[in-house]
Amino acid sequence: MSYGNTRYRERMYVLIAIAVFIAVVFLVRLFYIQVLDDSYRLSADNNVLRYVTQFPARGLIKDRNGYLLVYNEAAYDLMVIPRQAKQTDTAAICDILGISKADFVLKMNKAKAHSTRKASIFEKQLSVETYAELQEKMHRFDGFFVQVRTLRKYPRPIAAHIMGYVGEVNQTVIDRNPYYRSGDYIGIAGLEKSYETSLRGVKGVKVMMVDVHNRTKGSYREGRYDTLAVAGRGIECTIDAKLQEYGELLMQNKAGAIVALEPSTGEILALISTPTFDPNLLVGRVRSANYVMLNQDTLKPLFNRALMSETNPPGSTFKVLNALIGQQVGVTNEQTTIGCRGGYISGNFRMGCHPHSGPLNLRQSIQQSCNAYYGTVFRSIIDHTGKPWEGYEIWRNHVLSFGLGTLFNTDLPTEKKGIVPPKSYFDRYHGENKWKSLTIISMAIGQGDLGVTPLQLANMTATIANRGWYIPPHLVRKIEGDTLPGHFTQKQYTTVDRPYFDPVVDGMEMVFQQGGTGYRSRLDTLAMCGKTGTAQNPHGEDHSIFICFAPKDDPKIALAVFVENGGGGSKYAAPIASLMVEQYLRDTISRPAFEKVILDTDLLKLTKE
């Protein structure tokens, strides 16, 4: 045999071996696909399988004492796959749902526009009775099936602005986040929005076998391809539900806000904005209609006054801050006395004051809320460098350190930052560095261009109660299986030194003593510290404001009360604050007649008249 023939045969054997190897690979792969791997069979069986989304229960929300604020109830959505709905009994399904043939066509066209092959919602949130009737006759409705989900339920009609609400996702959300599909629900406001990723859980899928009569025959392949839904994480709120409910009761028939904090933690004990509404109004099929109704209400019940009413001046409650800053920059001290001749007077300018004894030292100036004292102190702060604009920036930085004019980045998505204007604001109106301390003198008594939210006022009060520091206000204490954002546990220190707080706190305690502006609201058995305020209102009766904390030492609660059109701070805001403190610290009200006056007052009626 020649060398050439031998070489030829070797090559032939190699080619045969390669061919056999390839054939074996194909046979093994074919065996795997047809026998071992079900994915292709699953694809082929799609025409008899139904993929049902398993919606997780949203996490529960409880108050700080374990009281349930939000839970879930079962709801039923009627789904349709248009391609499979050609032989359905249209008349029967219209009769069960209570819709016309035209409505049926409209809904079906909408479903087809979404997809002819994929399921979409035909009718959402069916009643239990409708669901039961549909289940009995489902074999007559080809392409239709019922999908179970949950709706939020509120056992008591409180804390609507805190809880927020849940609604259907829009296309913008779907495009931005692949988790969501058409018909899914998402937190739209309040804690439902802020903690959406914790509350929503994780969706699952159940693969079901369906016969030609639209009857479910059971799980496909014994549930091998199912994925379980994971329930949302529960949340423990900082709110004291009993205090929240009582505050809403006190503010009934009044417009305004109450914010109560625990000074040592920054936890919000109550956050009340009135007029308010029953959160159950924004649940289920009635949500859209009720939202329109609430949005058109002239009393603005959807507006969260506690966090968003940033244009209201703090009034005389702001004097305690000027007392602190005045000491820090060295223009006054606790022994400094200033007389009052019916107000602050400078040349032809006069800022009036109510009658009181004098001259007053720093403690007494807070007790009596003297405008002359704070007009003098404020101008000294602004002028102490010889250049008012420089003095103003020093003053402003001190104010900002108390959380005014800034955002706390709290866990509600509607927070406003308030107004503490920068130097450039006055330069724009008066010319650069061409204005004086007298130009902005109204800020001495918390008026003029200042604006604060009730949340900021409450935090300022908590900061004074702590003698110079605060933890940013927040509404959640615990998240099941998760941790809180770090800044909700970090102390923020002011630029005012600790010793300067003591005389201010003493003065706030004297507000409740004989001759003080809050004397009528005192609680003899409890050392409370407070300050009245009246915010000028060009559109009607002035607004009533009061800040307060108690006990004086080791304070457990600090709060701000803002009552629109309530007149002086001692008239309505101070009594409400005093009752809130007593309710929280004593869990009882010892002054029923005092309470009754507040409960019977209807300022909304008086405003309309």
In tens, the pLDDT along 203-238 reads: 888 887 776 656 666 777 777 888 888 999 999 999
Q: Give pTM, 2 decimals.
A: 0.86
Instruction: Report the pLDDT value the prediction gives residue 410, as an integer from 0 to 100.
Output: 87
Nearest to 549 by CA among 528, 577, 572: 528
Question: How confident is the model over 196-211, as pLDDT tens digits?
Answer: 999 999 988 888 777 6
pLDDT tens for residues 378-389? Answer: 999 999 999 999
pLDDT of residue 88: 83
Level-2 CATH architecture, domain 241-284+310-608: 3-Layer(aba) Sandwich (3.40)
3-state secondary structure at position 227: strand
pLDDT of residue 323: 97
- 595/293 Cα distance (integer angstroms): 32
Strand order across the 557-563 sheet: 267-274, 256-262, 557-563, 543-550, 529-535
* DSSP string computed for 518-537: TGGG--TTS--EEEEEEE--
At residue 225, the pLDDT reads 81
At 145 the pLDDT is 86
Delimit the domains of the chain by residue range. 52-237, 241-284+310-608
Contact 419, 405 (CB under 8 A): yes
Residues of the chain under the 50 pLDDT cut = 1, 40, 42-46
Q: What is the largest CA-CA distance in the chain?
A: 135
The CATH class that applies to domain 52-237 reads alpha beta
Q: Rounded to whole angstroms, what are the CA distances from 36 to 5, 30, 226? A: 45, 9, 19
pLDDT on residue 477? 94
